Amino acid sequence: MDPLACAPMGRLIVIEGLDGSGKRTLTDALTKELADRGLTATRWAFPRYGESVHADLITDAMHKRLGPLVDTVYGMAVLYALDRQGAAAGIRADLERFDVVLVDRYLASNAAYCAARLHEDAHGDMVRWVRDVELGRFELPVPDAHLLLRVPVEVAAARTAHRADTEAGRERDSYETDGGLQARCSEVYEQLAEQNWVSPWHVVDGSGPVDAVALVDRILG
């Protein structure tokens, strides 16, 4: 074997969608389907609650624990980006060890949610900023593909409300209770998918069960 040949890198697949779109369930189904095909997979989720100081600061802001202080879109965008920067080396290492690395929310969440909190005129600048900072300056591993779980905003909202009622300690955060934000966010996601922002996007209907077999076929080509 050529000693200079590089080991093949795993694929970095990002799962995106509104709060309540079913990202966790889809990630579980993909993990199982990949294992059934004899492929190794691991997973990450952002923000890294309980694992990074940046995620702790995000939680304070999301649950309105800042008192008279205000969170700003820019401040939040930086915190989310720093949370990911702290994970970059770990993700890179996983890409060398696993066939597939599944990520539940990545920089596209920052682009979609932060843009959705700004006037439409500023959306382009926000989306560019996220890409330049996270992939450019922070050098995060670049995704090979994005999966966007498309669900009507009302369906996603009903799911997060149900989760808050039935799961202990799963109180809805300030983004989840803001229907206007979720609706604008959904629009930005559609634009990112349309542009194949950063990598190819696959749109998946998340209102019912997802066919993981067909989806893995699509992703792996």
Residue 80 found at the interface with ligand TMP (CB under 6 A)? yes
Q: Which two tokens stand for residue 180?
A: 């206007």
Please tell me what DSSP assigns to residue 21: S
The nearest distance, CB 176 to ligand TMP, in angstroms, is 6
Residue 105 found at the interface with ligand TMP (CB under 6 A)? yes
Our CB check for ligand TMP shows the closer of 11 and 105 to be 105
Contact region with ligand TMP (CB under 6 A), list: 85-93, 103-111, 161-169, 202-210:
103-111
Residue 21 found at the interface with ligand TMP (CB under 6 A)? no
What are 190-198's contacts with CB under 8 Å, separation 24+?
190/148, 190/150, 191/123, 192/108, 192/111, 192/112, 192/127, 192/146, 192/148, 193/146, 193/148, 197/108, 197/111, 197/127, 197/131, 197/146, 198/107, 198/108, 198/131, 198/135, 198/142, 198/143, 198/146
Taking residues 28 to 67 in sequence order and writing x for each that binds ligand TMP by CB under 6 A, - otherwise, the string is ------------------xx--------------------
Distance CA 73, CA 60 (A): 14
Query: Contact with ligand TMP (CB under 6 A): which of 21, 27, 52, 110?
Result: 110
- The H or E element that residue 103 is part of is strand 100-104
Contact region with ligand TMP (CB under 6 A), list: 33-41, 109-117, 138-146, 188-196:
109-117
Q: Among all residues, whose Cβ is closest to ligand TMP?
A: 113
Taking residues 158 to 197 in sequence order and writing x for each that binds ligand TMP by CB under 6 A, - otherwise, the string is -----------------x----------------------
Q: For binding to ligand TMP (CB under 6 A), which residues are involved?
A: 19, 46-47, 80, 105, 109-110, 113-114, 175
